[in-house]
Amino acid sequence: MSASTDTATLAGSQRPSRLRLLEPITILWVALIAALLVLVALPLLKMFVISFEEQDTGVFTIQNYLTAYGRQRYLDAVRNSLLLGTLSAAISVVLAVPMAWAVSRTDMPGKGFTWAIVLAAFIMPPYLGAIGWVLLAGPNSGWINVVWRSLTGATDPLVNVYTFTGMAFVIALHSFPLVFIFVKSALDLISSEMEDAANILGGGTWVTMRKVTLPLVWPSILGGFILIFLETIALFGTPAIIGIPARINVVTTQLWQFFEDPVRVEVASAFAMPLLLVTIGLIAVQKLLLARKGFVSQTGKGGERRQVKLGPWRWVLFGWCVLVALLSVVKPLMVLLQASFAKAWGRGFSFDNLTLRNYQFLLFEHDMAPQAVWNTVWFSATSATIAVVLALLVAYIVVRRLIRFADALGFLAMAPFVIPGIVMAIGFYAAYAGPPLSLYGSALLIILAFASRFLPIAYASSQAAIRAVHPEMEEAARILGSGRLHAIRKVTAPLLKTSLLGGWLVVFIVASRELSAAIFLVGPRTRTMSVLLYDLTEQGNFEVVSAFGGILLVITMAIVGIGMKLVGRDFMLRRE
């Protein structure tokens, strides 16, 4: 009797002490897990589940897979996407690696210029580049072909954008900055001693570059290659603008067809599943390729980094950079600007063809354009904030190893990195568009999708930044009686301000131009600039489309300008 009373009192006294064990950090951990489940795991899980469900009844079936893969045309779309991804990534590597090497390791002139071009190519949305190249390289009317014909008298076009290689090339022209960033930052770390060793053993500049320098940055090249491959197979705008006239069906345009009436989310999910397998496979291949070799270039023993003297060759490399600049930025931008100020772009440049009407129409007469501009700004800002806050907390827990299974958090935060944007959008549609939440068309749904899609960018930058802050500064605060969250707020966060702002800006910029994740989620009042731009491209009015593209670029450039002012001019190209 007394024993049982004892237990009761014991239990009674234990309960509050257990609650006291529940540190705020544990609650935070639970909240973070919940957030990541909502943002990353649930949409994918839901998509996986419904890919095996019959529409309306929900009965288990594999019919969706049979439908999705039961036609030659659908299989062709998969093949086309894989080829397109590979080709675009390969062209990007060819474009970017010499530039990265030249900027990082040599005495090539015009490094600032090259750097600016890479930045410009990065902030230009790919579908704008595609429109620019339609104006440049249409087989009959493209400027390049018109000039070519008048110079040579030839009848055949020199270049044709409406081809497989044409499309891959246009995509590569706006993807190569990723390879550049990856490879340049790896090259920056290699000390000249390794190259000196090769030189001493009789290798010239080229042999050394080929046999020593480049192999050392092989992981970065591969990383950039895979990233571009993933971005390419998820692109929607360029295949719609160039691929349809070129008659090339790809996975994204095919997924769009599954959303025709009657909407077959189940079949679309089944069709998208192998894409996920491909990306997971690629990451595995990357791990395998890199596993057995050492790529350590940072030894902690200092080592100086000298520039390779190229002699006259430096002008050849500079010429290469100028060429890439012309193709990726200068020319498309010129034709877009010309078209945006033209009454009829087909008439070319003349003073009586100039007008501000296109801008005036969009800014003052168009029902949706100003709304879309505002949507883009606040969706991007909100999703960037969510992503950065979430990433910061996760990174903090992971880096400081505050709890067990912290790595699981990190894994979830990085997972969207390998999920094509359009697949993510279908997952969000499947999970949250309908009842019980019925978020379809709401701003919240789009913001969550953006935050999820770009979480890895924010996470990577937060992680690197937190690593760089030694825990002893926080510990000092804690010794003086501050709680952990208080210490984070007062000590760690201020130290990280600059890098966090950098991460925020990068997420803002990529979110402001995102099309494929938005296209299945927007409603009438929540269209973003990218979606409205896509709608405008099917209305046969390139002048207005170009003007809207001009407005988008001005906004992005303003943000980039602010970023440079606040964070330093290399904030977008820094890879921590």
**Residues forming the site for another protein (CB under 8 A):** 73, 76, 135, 138-142, 162, 240, 243-245, 247-249, 253, 257, 259-263, 265, 343-347, 361, 365-368, 429, 433-435, 438, 440-441, 520, 523-525, 527, 535-542, 544
Q: How far is the CB of 76 from another protein (least distance, A)?
A: 8
Min separation Cβ 338 and another protein, Å: 12
Q: How far apart are CA 511 and CA 14, in angstroms?
A: 49
Strand partners, 308: 106
Cα first-last separation, the chain: 65
Classified as helix, coil or strand, 332 is: helix
Nearer to another protein, 9 or 438 (CB): 438
With 0-12 CB in 10 A as exposed, 13-18 as middle and 19+ as buried, what is 3? exposed
Cβ contact 576:465 at 8 Å:
yes
The CA–CA distances, whole Å, from 52 to 55, 62, 117, 418, 419 equal 10, 6, 47, 22, 20
What does DSSP assign to residue 342?
A: B
Which of 373, 369, 531, 368 minimizes the C-alpha distance to 449? 531
d(CA 244, CA 239): 7
Provide the 3-class DSSP secondary structure of residue 106.
Answer: strand
d(CA 506, CA 453): 13
Lookup: tokens for 323: 């060429």
**CB 137 to another protein: min, Å:** 11
Least CB distance to another protein at residue 362 (A): 10
**CA–CA gap between residue 508 and residue 388 (Å, rounded):** 10
Closest-CA residue to 42 (of 534, 343, 449): 449
Q: Least distance from C-beta 289 to another protein, angstroms?
A: 35
Kindly tell me which of 6 and 156 has the beta carbon lying closer to another protein. 156
Closer by beta carbon to another protein, 131 or else 413: 131
Alpha-carbon 94 to chain mean position: 20
Instruction: Give the 3-state secondary structure of 3-48.
Output: HHHHHHHHHHHHHHHHHHHCCHHHHHHHHHHHHHHHHHHHHHHHHH
Whole-number CA gyration radius for the chain: 26
Closest to 276 measured CA to CA, from 420, 171, 139, 163: 420
Q: How far is the CB of 409 from another protein (least distance, A)?
A: 31
Nearer of residues 182 and 542 to another protein, judged by Cβ: 542
Smaller CB distance to another protein: residue 199 or 257? Answer: 257
Whole-number minimum distance, CB 369 to another protein, in Å?
9
Half-sphere exposure in the Cβ direction for 277 (13 Å, CA): 8
Q: How far from 388 is each of 131, 396, 574, CA to CA, in Å?
A: 32, 12, 17
Beta carbon nearer to another protein, 44 or 134: 134
| C-alpha span between 11 and 523 (Å, rounded) | 55
**22, β-bridge pairs:** none
Shortest gap between Cβ of 349 and another protein (angstroms)? Answer: 14
Closest distance of CB 268 from another protein, Å: 11
What pairs with residue 354 in β-bridges?
342
Q: Which is nearer to another protein, 147 or 197 (CB)?
A: 147
By beta-carbon proximity to another protein, the closer residue of 261 and 304 is: 261
In the complex, least distance from residue 41 CB atom to another protein, rounded to whole angstroms: 21
Task: Decide: 32 and 397 in contact? Cβ < 8 Å.
Answer: yes
Nearer to another protein, 138 or 421 (CB): 138
The smaller minimum CB distance to another protein, of residues 295 and 361, is found at 361
Rounded to a whole number of angstroms, the minimum distance from the CB of residue 172 to another protein is 22
- Min separation Cβ 328 and another protein, Å: 22
Q: Smaller CB distance to another protein: residue 454 or 542?
A: 542
Closer residue to another protein (CB): 24 or 245 = 245
Tokens of 49: 């589940």
Structure token digits, residue 35: 């957030």
Residue 499: CA atoms inside 13 Å, Cβ hemisphere, count?
Answer: 22
